Structure 1
Amino acid sequence: MRILKYLKSKIFIRTIILMVIFIVSLIFGLKAFLAYTTNHNQKILVPDLKKMSLEETETTLKNLSLNYIIQDSASFNPEYPPKSVIDQDPEAGDYVKENRKIYLTLNPSNYKKIAIPDLLNKTKRQVETHLTSIGFQIGKYEYIPDLGKDVVRKMKFKGKELEMGDLVPKNSKIDLVLGDGSLDGAADDLEKIEQDEVVEN
């Protein structure tokens, strides 16, 4: 009877009301705390950083309370300025929270350099195929008196004669010096051989 009387008393009802108010307040307080600590409903639009310099990118992201991490550089793309942003993750237009890291891929300052292979005294077609397969372009042709028609006697880059092992930026134009197949070339070779023999004797 005492229990039943207590359950009907104002003290019990007041206690229940206070407990409900406390639980509800606790739930709302936790929701507000979680929303604050996790930046709930906070959305920042990721800007388009492509073709921006690193300095411009840093300023843009700092103003938006975003951070960045530079990843390895990609292959050089001539359509983008050197050392500019060539790719980003998340992409432009995505929504992120404050202090989110944006992963950046930068465009190198130039094409990587490739060693010149030993291609002298091979045919024009062989040399062209080999050079283009490793990333070079074929530039101008120059013909010299030589019995070997369309045989590559020299290779040049920006007017400078190349030797095996020289490093040249990928996608560069390599000029080829070819024999014209003339008898004059054979005569020159014969004369040179005779001169060498005289010197030796």
Structure 2
Amino acid sequence: MAGFAPDCAIFIMLRYFISREFFLTLLALVGLGGLLYVAVFFWFLPAYTRHGEGLLVPDVSEMAEQTALDVLEEAGLRPLIADSIYMEDLPPGVIIKQYPLPYSRVKPKRTVSLTVNKREPPMVPMPNLTEPSMSIYHATMKLQNWNLSPGKVTRVPDIAQDIVLEALYEGKKIEPGTRIPQGSKIDLVVANGSGYRVPIPDLRGATYEEALAILEAANLQLGAISFDPSAPEDVHGQVFDQRPRPGLGDSISQGQYIDLRIYGPEPTTNEGIIIEEVEDGGR
């Protein structure tokens, strides 16, 4: 009899699961669950989220700040100035961005975050544009990286080519590190590669050393040298011809070369110059 009790319990449970009472209880639970589902998803949530009462967010981009605030409030929304940045190509105080985006559907009283264009540009330091051998291309890129605008480019005679010689702000030279408004225009003075023009010096009759000194004073360079060994010894070392030759009103750009023809034999050592042979008797 002691081992019969468990078997009786199992038998009683099986009879309950197939009884009418069990099925009625199960049916009641299913019905209650269905009612709860309908109540939550078709009544409670729509009432909580105000389903069917969504509003379209108006587009207030590029509107004046106060106008945008009024438009959003009249639409049943809550405007909020969340940020401000500076954009040179837009008027100060207008709306640059908004979130939620225009024409999004949101529930009433939803907060709409706005970004406004600053009324005053922030101050930025002037970069150094006259570093050794900074080209106009790299100077322009550097200005743009600092949110500054390249202005007028003035080219002046100089030996260098397309190198920035000076930076100007409002017509005056500006030193690196000076703080100026973002978006300011910076004018550049750039070398045109031609050099300043100077009169062609007359080197005929000068000694080699004197000719070098004259060329250096005029910021000109020594070109090719040729010699005439057939000349009398008393004129050896004198310049008897040059290219280009001097003329009334003739000029040459600084940094250019002048070739010389010198009386006398070619020196045994002549480092750093170009030697060109001249036939005997050539003058």
TM-score class, shorter? 0.5 to 0.7
Q: How high is the TM-score relative to the length of structure 2?
A: 0.46
The DSSP-based 3-state class of the residue aligned with 1:131 is: helix
Map 1:96-175 → 2, pairs under 5 A:
96-109=106-119, 111-120=121-130, 121-125=132-136, 126-144=138-156, 150-175=162-187
Q: Identify the residue that residue 67 of structure 2 maps to in structure 1.
A: 56
The Cα RMSD (Å) is 3.5
Count of equivalent residues = 159
Cα deviation for residue 111 of structure 1 reads: 4.9
| Structure 2 gaps, min length 5 | 1-34, 199-215, 220-283
Q: Identify the residue that residue 56 of structure 2 maps to in structure 1.
A: 45
Q: Deviations over 1:64-102 (max 9, x none)?
A: 221022222245261x33221111111221222221111
The DSSP-based 3-state class of the residue aligned with 1:48 is: coil
Q: Deviations over 1:104-154 (max 9, x none)?
A: 122233554431122225343343343344443332233456565644332
Kindly name which structure, 1 or 2, has the bigger radius of gyration based on alpha carbons. Answer: 2
| Structure 1 gaps, min length 5 | 1-22, 190-201
Q: Identify the residue that residue 194 of structure 1 maps to in structure 2.
A: none
What is the identity, as a one-letter code, of the residue corresponding to 1:49?
Answer: V
Could you say which structure has the higher helix fraction?
Answer: 1
Cα deviation for residue 47 of structure 1 reads: 0.7
Decide whether the 8 Å contact of 1:69 with 1:104 is kept in 2. Answer: yes
Could you say which structure has the higher strand fraction?
Answer: 2
Decide whether the 8 Å contact of 1:76 with 1:110 is kept in 2. Answer: no
Q: In structure 2, do the counterparts of structure 1 residues 100 and 188 end up closer, same or farther at CA, with 3 Å as the change threshold? A: farther
Decide whether the 8 Å contact of 2:73 with 2:79 is kept in 1. Answer: no
Higher relative CO (Cα under 8 Å, sequence separation at least 6) belongs to: 1
What is the identity, as a one-letter code, of the residue corresponding to 2:171?
Answer: G
Identity %: 30
Residues in 2 aligned to 1:38 and 1:133: alpha-carbon distance in whole angstroms:
47
Decide whether the 8 Å contact of 2:129 with 2:164 is kept in 1. Answer: yes
Q: In structure 2, do the counterparts of structure 1 residues 172 and 187 end up closer, same or farther at CA, with 3 Å as the change threshold? A: farther
Q: Identify the residue that residue 92 of structure 1 maps to in structure 2.
A: 102
Task: Return the match for 2:91 from 81, 89, 95.
Answer: 81
Task: Return the match for 1:182 from 192, 196, 200.
Answer: 196
Q: In structure 2, do the counterparts of structure 1 residues 37 and 133 end up closer, same or farther at CA, with 3 Å as the change threshold? A: closer
Residues in 1 aligned to 2:166 and 2:189: alpha-carbon distance in whole angstroms:
5
Q: How high is the TM-score relative to the length of structure 1?
A: 0.61
What is the identity, as a one-letter code, of the residue corresponding to 2:68?
Answer: T
Decide whether the 8 Å contact of 1:146 with 1:183 is kept in 2. Answer: no
What is the identity, as a one-letter code, of the residue corresponding to 1:45?
Answer: L
Decide whether the 8 Å contact of 1:46 with 1:91 is kept in 2. Answer: yes
